[in-house]
Chains A and B, each alone.
Chain A
Amino acid sequence: MELLLDDLDTRGALREAAEKAGISRAVFLGGTIASVVAALSAPAAAEAVSRNDIAVLNFALVLEYLQSSFYTEADRSAALHGKAAAAARRVGAVERAHVKAFEALLGRQAIKRPAFNFAGTTESDRPFLKTAVAFEDLAVAAYKGQAPRLRSKQVLASALAIHSVEARHAAWMRYLFHVQPAVSAFDDAASKPKIERVVAGTHFIVARPRMEARRRPRLTG
């Protein structure tokens, strides 16, 4: 199952922009992140980042949202202990900083933060560490897969500078989870479709529930 836009476009912002850019609804509904974001016309901020790079940046931003929301929720839940709790606090701070940087560069072009149901993995030490290992390894593979596709050397420099930090995080979480921090001499890249499949398979990304109803109140009055 591809990471479909509807799962992510929680406030309709991307849909609105797509309609403004004249992209057919069919493309949108079946579309992946890249295909629609790439089709949006307006450049991002002061330095015109190419459409291609905007799409890559938004893809990375989804993963940064995933990680920052995960660690932030774990930190807030106050349900972790010892080094796991400390890791949630420190790594969460870093991932939140990453998110701020992406949002600042992408401006209105930034994809909206999805809602995440982490199904208890932020509330118990072992599931937390296991999931953190998966997320960090995933981020490393994703950045590695996307870096060669970037047009701008400046964006590439940023991607590399973050990619190696995610690898440090991966080793950090693996160590806490008592598995080998560096298994192979060469880490593998993962393609965007592969990453999207993995993320979709977690079912962590959910639609925001509708908490509003057009109904006459049956309250006590």
Chain B
Amino acid sequence: MNVFGIRGGAKVSGRKESTAETPIEKMPMPRMLHVPLQQHIGVPAVPIVSVGSRVRKGQLIAASKGAVSAPVHAPTSGFVTRIGDYLAPHPSGLPVLTLSLEPDGRDEWAELPDTLQLETATPKEIADRVSQAGVVGMGGAAFPSAVKLSMGNQYELDSLILNGAECEPYLTCDDRLMRERAEETVVGTKFMMKALGVSKAFIAIEDNKAASFKSMQSACGEGSDIEVVYVPARYPMGSSKHLVQAITGRETPANGRTADLGVIVNNVATAFAVYEACCLGRPLISRIVTLSGEAVSRPANYETLIGTLAAELMKQSGGLTEEPQQLLMGGPMMGQPLQNLDVPIVKGTSGILALRRMEIPEQNVMPCIGCGSCVTVCPAGLMPMAMMNKIDHDDVDGADDIGLRDCISCGSCNYVCPSHIPLVQFFNYGKGKLKEQDKDKIRHDKIKVLTEARERRLEKQGVH
């Protein structure tokens, strides 16, 4: 199938060689698991077990709350030793409510719900199952999947795109998944299609992953309504709006969703989680994590229980070869910096990276010379240097006027800048300011409405 071009984008060196060719390894059971109760976008889950209680593998330990939320399950059998704040995989280093679990080594499953049959399951049954299983978007955004799978109710959908682009350097967890668990992923895709009520699905894979392409294609079989598609290896191909553009040729309106075009985008790892939820009745309690970067002794992909500390993965890989310059959760283009490795793996963790100084060349920040490289690569069609200038002069509104809100923080501009200006940092600061202003505005509007209502009331009562 021919795909369409996306605007801008950068050729980013993949650096995937160290982990792409070795099979997924299973992490041994860690001594402790620390399961955060907010691993998703939305409202945190509420614990329903107490300290001291024994839980079994797959048992619900924290229930979802509200429309956009996701429950959390016990990754193995054991005892709850503590429910309290624990360091979260977040750049702020702030703690979140976390449930600590001491495995009893028996890895004993709780009673699991019945399996669903693809032929007989209704869309609602599938969405409910996915919701109960605590499945969230595993590409990193961690948006509750059930909410997405129910969008057929509000939008007229026609296709599902599975994101197997994996455009971030270093990461190979999706690549390995597609090579080793293609059949299961395809079954998960079919459940998703049924839930969404669409008859067509595409699995988008960057054209530097031939093995994944082949394995997914043979899993789909001849004449399938799931089409495996090569997309150019160009960062940020994995951005959902850009992926939709590459495959359908259509551009998602600003302030809109891909669902407006009838398309839902999900990560391949999410499809696998959906398979496990529907066909095995298992909740999302583990995922594949890439441990990589040149400061790692033996980079690898690990099938890891949620709540395992990143430090355990590092230990399993033989530790660090040297003091890393930067620890990261996620890819190097959009990932989050980590203070240390004592943070748990969560549902959205695609990778843990330890980058060496050599990989982050020490570079002096120079003034902008207006070369326009950032304009050429910006996949959102913005003028990053112009926005940066405005934010630098404390003119956040000016930056807003020229598209700050349309920035997807992909970091392409930052990547190519010859002056090494931390553009993304400027934009994050600017977006934070805008959010603050928006909040203030809402508050003021509310006050205004209330004040006016009060005056009218007083007038009526004849006070004035």
Q: Do A and B bind each other?
A: no
Binding site for B on A (CB under 8 A): none
